[in-house]
Structure 1
Amino acid sequence: MPSRAFHRYALFTLAVGIVLIWWGAAVTTEDVGLAVPDWPLCYGKINPEGWYKVPALLLEHGHRWIGMTIGWLALGMYFWQFFKNKPALVEAVSIILCGIGFFILIKLRVYSVAVLIAFLGFTWLTMTWIGRKWVLLRGLATLSLMLVMIQAALGGARVQEMSDKFGIVHGMLGQIFYCVLVFIAFASSRTWTEGRLLLSLTEAARARFWSLALFLCVFAQLVLGASLRHTQRTHLAASDILTTKGQWLPSFQPQDVFLLFAHKYWGFTVAVLIIFVAARARRWLVTLPQMRPVATLLLFMPTVQVALGIFVILTGKSFWVTNFHVLNGLALLALSSLLVATFWGDRLCRRDEAEA
């Protein structure tokens, strides 16, 4: 059974993750992602003198420091579970050495070899997790450590190559990493270890289908949002609400106009889907009242998200409105991932034995 201390540590890491994503959103909103031309140093130094007095450096270099903080926290979670569950010293040493080598390859721009190492790392994790029958938290903590290293490397590659593509992938992986942190906090809670959700076979199948579909649809919307934010930083391609550049269905060209259209209307669709699934989830979660607030929040947050999106357009991408739009979108993804964990988690979801 997970310790209360580890659960509190996971919650603290989760809180730092919110600050990190907020800070990263601010970097993109203010378009200062390239304020520092080098990586991992800042103008050749760990901390240039007076960097915190320069707004652009405060955002970009500060984002790096917060990212480093959560990297150390992820390393702490890994070793916490490592020493608790049959530690093998060669594993920890190999992960650290491979991580150092991975960063060196990114710095040298040998991306093909770095991708190969990342692929082999995830292959090893999958096979070891299954073969050695790791407990859930052991595997999740290792996964979070690997993800945070790749996330940091993507940030560095984005600076070195001045590439929007690296920036988009960096933003998308950040959302996935945060969901893993949410899962770690949930899996170390009393709700996970002591709660029981009783569903019929039919209800369990529906709950699993709709929760997973919801998570994937919300993530797709955030992919569109990340693409939009990294390609239309200073201003949006259109300022109308219902139409886009005066058209109800714009053509694929120019791409920036169609991307804005897709983000708006897929957002409306996902908002309706969230409310639909949340209403049903409240009934599915009746035997697990600790999780019903998740469904309740999901009933109201889509309306807030749509309103924030409209105000982003009306205010010309106001800093605070845009950043709250990003954070609310992250919250929708995180809550959707909690529904997936709840309905797919064997420790929680129990089918009706009589019907089975």
Structure 2
Amino acid sequence: MNTNHRNLRNLAWFAVAFALLVIVFGAFVRLSNAGLSCPDWPTCYGKLTWPKHHEIDAANLAFPERAVESHKAWREQVHRFLAGGLILTTFGLAFLAWRRRREMSGIAAVLLAASVLIVFQALLGMWTVTWKLKPIVVMAHLVGGLSTFCLLAYVALRLSLEPLGRADTAALRRMLIAGIVLVALQIALGGWTSANYAALSCGLDFPTCAGRWWPATDFREAFVLWRGIGVNYEGGVLDADARTAIQLVHRIGALVVLGHLLGVIVAAWRRGFGRWALALLAALLLQIGLGISNVVLGLPLPVATAHNAGAALLLLVLFGLLVRLRRARN
């Protein structure tokens, strides 16, 4: 491995770690109800950072619609700084790959896609604030962040893993792709659950919901994606039955993902990918455990934040195995 390749690989893994940090810190901001703690964008109460002690009164006068909460405002603005750093890192990585596009055209194309996506992700961050936590935007922001993570992880994995030279993995590869799609849909459902404040709509009950296997639900209202602009969605606007419907669909989705990925694990084990199978099983059980803990423990902030990290870890393992199989077919 030449020095240029090694440097690009190391930068790619740095970008992956940086993206994970942004995702986890963004979850921390959202779950601690700090998403609207800066009412303007990209500044915070008109400042590059956030209002300090002697500046709070002036900030409250300038933005009377939302009083300064310094313990929350710093979280939102630090998250913006981190996101800006990730944008620059992604652009730098794409530039380096583009310079070597003749030998790694596929990787350069993926990083170009990541660069475009991360710019759109910044716009979603702005709309999250200016459209006052509109659920479809909040969900898209979560999905966009994890999509950026996946693109960067794919690049890092392609630069790191050696080909296996196997020709009997086509069926397993198809199962993996289906699994990634199912996990992506489940993540979107999780984002919709969080954006509509439906995580505890079943109370602390599991596997039942509010003491019943199938309580009252309102699916018609639960999945209305667009409700207009100008409404403050902080705290949610849906009634209890609609939120319950969202939570139940998320739980059913988790069962579907669990069943399919267990099939992937068995298939990977039988084809000689024992370490990958064990890694996928560990990531899957961790994510399921965190999801159940969110409910029975009442959505504690560390557990809820870790649930986002668990989704990223699960995707990383899935993409890692997929890259091994793809390279084996080249």
Q: Same fold (TM over 0.5)?
A: yes
Instruction: Give deviations 1:158-200, integer Å, cap 9, x for gaps.
Output: 11111221111111111111110110101112x2xx4223123
Structure 2 counterpart of 1:61: 77
Secondary structure of the 1:24 match is helix
Do 1:294 and 1:335's aligned partners in 2 also have CA atoms closer than 8 Å? yes
Give the Å deviation of 1:250.
Answer: 4.1
- Report how far residue 22 of structure 1 moved: 0.7
Match of 2:315 among 316, 333, 351: 333
Q: What is the SS of the residue equivalent to 1:348?
A: helix
The answer to whether 1:168 aligns with 2:101 is no
**Residue identity opposite 1:8 in structure 2:** N
What is the rounded CA distance, in whole Å, between the counterparts of 1:251 and 1:48 in structure 2?
Answer: 44
* Residue identity matched to 2:127: A
8 Å CA contact 2:193, 2:199 repeated in 1:
no
Contact 1:78 1:142 in 2 (8 A): yes
The verdict on how the C-alpha distance between 1:269 and 1:238 changes in structure 2, with shifts beyond 3 A counting, is same
The structure 2 residue matched to 1:84, chosen from 85, 97, 100, is: 100
Larger mean CA deviation between 269-278 and 256-265 belongs to 269-278
Shift of 1:11: 0.6
- Gaps in structure 1 of 5+ consecutive residues: 87-132, 287-291, 351-356
Equivalences for residues 180-191 of structure 1 within 5 A: 180-189=151-160, 191=161
1:234 Cα deviation from its structure 2 partner = 8.3
Distance, in Å, in 1 between the alignment partners of 2:51 and 2:178 is 49
The total of aligned residue pairs comes to 290
In 1: Cα distance, 2:282 partner to 2:5 partner = 33
Q: 1:246 to 1:140 in 2, by over 3 A?
A: same
- Superposed displacement of residue 32, structure 1: 1.0
Contact 1:28–1:233 (CA under 8 A) maintained in structure 2: no
Q: What is the CA-CA distance between 1:251 and the residue it aligns to?
A: 5.2
How far does residue 296 in structure 1 lie from its aligned partner after superposition? 1.5
SS in 2 for 1:188: helix
In the alignment, which residue of structure 2 is the partner of 1:269? 256
Q: Cα offset for 1:62?
A: 0.9
What's the CA shift string for 1:137-164, capped at 9, x where partnerless? 1101111111110101101011111122
Question: Per the alignment, in what secondary structure is the counterpart of residue 302 of structure 1?
Answer: helix
The question of whether the paired residues in 1 share the 8 Å contact of 2:199 and 2:247 is answered with no
What's the Cα RMSD here? 2.3
CA shift in 2, pair 1:139/1:327, >3 Å: same
Counterpart contact for 1:305–1:325, Cα < 8 Å: yes
| Partner of residue 6, structure 2 | 4
What is the distance in 2 between the residues matched to 1:237 and 1:309? 13
Q: Which of 121, 146, 159 is the equivalent residue of 2:116? A: 146
Partners of 1:16 and 1:317 lie apart in 2 by: 25
Partner of 1:70: 86
2:107 counterpart residue number? 137
The aligned residue for residue 104 of structure 1 is none
Equivalent pair of 1:197/1:285 in contact (CA under 8 Å): no
Alpha carbons of structure 1 residues 301 and 134: separation in structure 2 relative to 1, 3 Å: closer
8 Å Cα contact 1:31-1:234 kept in structure 2: no
Counterpart check, 1:215 vs 2:180:
yes
Structure 1 CA distance for aligned equivalents of residues 265 and 122 of structure 2: 34
The one-character-per-residue Cα deviations of 1:302-325 (angstroms, maximum 9, x if unpaired) are 222222222211221101111112
Instruction: Verify the 8 A CA contact 2:51 2:70 in the aligned structure 1.
Output: no
Change (3 A) 1:325 1:317: same
Equivalent position of 1:19 in the other structure: 21
Q: Aligned match of 1:196 in 164, 176, 184?
A: 164
Distance 2:32 2:198 in 1: 8
Is 1:157 paired with 2:173?
Answer: no
